[in-house]
Amino acid sequence: MLRKSSSLTTSEVGKAGERRAVRTLRRAGYRVLARNFRARGGEIDVVAEHEGTIVFVEVKTRRSDSFASPELSVNARKRRKLARTAWYFLEINSLTERDCRFDIVSIVNEQESGRPKIEIIPDAFQVDIWHR
């Protein structure tokens, strides 16, 4: 039996958000290469390819946006961790010469409608360091 959004744990909300994000990305023309890619010190929710570019996607899901929009939680520390993990992914897959970018998928579970508001934010941030 499916529980209402309000009774789901934070982890369950996040996993459901990742599933929705993958469906949304695929509909938008992204080809998913990996999910939950882990390396020492970091994890990337989704690695995809879109129009010839490798895309590292951070999925942020919230029960509401009353406090702040989900994408604002991707702070400088998180961006550095994502960059290091992304560089590792590129290295082990011999993709260091490919163009790449960082996208965010923001998901807010609308309480009134019961439908999530999903937004893909392409090229959401730039990183100054890669493999340090």
| Number of domains composing the chain | 1
77 assigned to some structural domain: yes
User: Any idea how long the chain is?
Assistant: 132
Please report, for the domain that includes residue 92, its CATH number: 3.40.1350.10
List Cβ neighbours of 119 (8 Å cut-off, separation of 6 or more). Answer: 105, 106, 107
Residue 3 has pLDDT above 50, yes or no: no
- End-to-end CA distance of the chain, in Å? 46
131 assigned to some structural domain: no
130 assigned to some structural domain: no
Query: In terms of Cα–Cα distance, which of 50, 63, 54 is closest to 82?
Result: 54
132 assigned to some structural domain: no
Q: Checking DSSP bridges between strand 42-50 and strand 31-39, what pairing results, if any?
A: antiparallel
Q: What is the pLDDT of residue 91?
A: 94
What pTM value is reported for the model?
0.86
Residue 111 has pLDDT above 70, yes or no: no
Q: The domain containing residue 115 runs over which residues?
A: 5-125
| AA letter at 78 | K
**Average pLDDT estimate for 117-131:** 83
SS3 25: helix
pLDDT in tens, 28-85: 999 999 999 999 889 999 999 999 999 999 999 877 655 666 677 788 889 999 999 9
Q: Which residue(s) pair with 35 in the sheet?
A: 46
- Residue for token digits 């029960």? 63
91 assigned to some structural domain: yes
40 assigned to some structural domain: yes
| Angstrom distance (rounded) from CA 103 to CA 57 | 5
- How much of the chain is in helix, strand and coil states, percent to nearest 5? 30, 35, 30
